[in-house]
Amino acid sequence: MSKQKVKRLSKTIALNKKSRHEYFIGKKYEAGIALLGWEVKSLRAGRISLSESYIHVKNYQAWLIGTLITPLSTTSTTYMIEPARQRKLLLSRKELYDLQAQINQKGFTCICIAIYWKHHLVKCEIALAKGKALYDKRIDDKKRDWGIQRQRLLRTSN
């Protein structure tokens, strides 16, 4: 018998769902990530958390901080495993200069929105973001609730 490949319907590995609630999302970038072998295997199993992750740009180098990749139980113990280590993001020089200039402005930060597969490579979608105030979050909640109620009304009226 031959092995059949299982096709994944979604190429998204992980989403940062809190980012849309906490920040106004600005310009987006696509970056590669420098990973170790055991991290790629863990990503294939879906063992990643982006909830507390952010991007730190220093000396025109971007680092992904706060991302937790849990190792598999079959991972070799011959080398030190750090689940929450800093991972280097691979961006072009022009993109790094743009990020550094924007982050130096008041109120802007850089966050990770999603991690996904692009062919056989792992990519990270990062974005420049500005923090929301509490009243902005309330307005978004009201808009979302009204959208849900409107859909219910439209379904019941038809």
CATH code of the domain containing 25: 2.40.280.10
Structural domain includes residue 120: yes
Residues facing 43 on adjacent strands: none
Structural domain includes residue 136: yes
The pTM (predicted TM-score) of the whole model is 0.77
Residue 100 exposed, middle or buried by CB count within 10 Å (0-12, 13-18, 19+): middle
Q: Mean per-residue pLDDT for 119-139?
A: 90
Structural domain includes residue 7: no
pLDDT at 22 over 90: no
> C-alpha distances in angstroms, 100 versus 27, 59, 60, 62?
13, 9, 7, 9
CA distance 35 to 23: 27
Q: What is the pLDDT of residue 105?
A: 82
Can you give the residue range of the structural domain that contains 36? 12-157
Structural domain includes residue 124: yes
Structural domain includes residue 6: no
Q: What's the total number of domains in the chain?
A: 1
Q: What is the pLDDT of residue 126?
A: 93
Residue 102 exposed, middle or buried by CB count within 10 Å (0-12, 13-18, 19+): middle
Structural domain includes residue 146: yes
Structural domain includes residue 2: no
Dihedral sign computed on CA atoms, order 130, 89, 54, 125: positive
Structural domain includes residue 121: yes
pLDDT at 26 over 60: yes
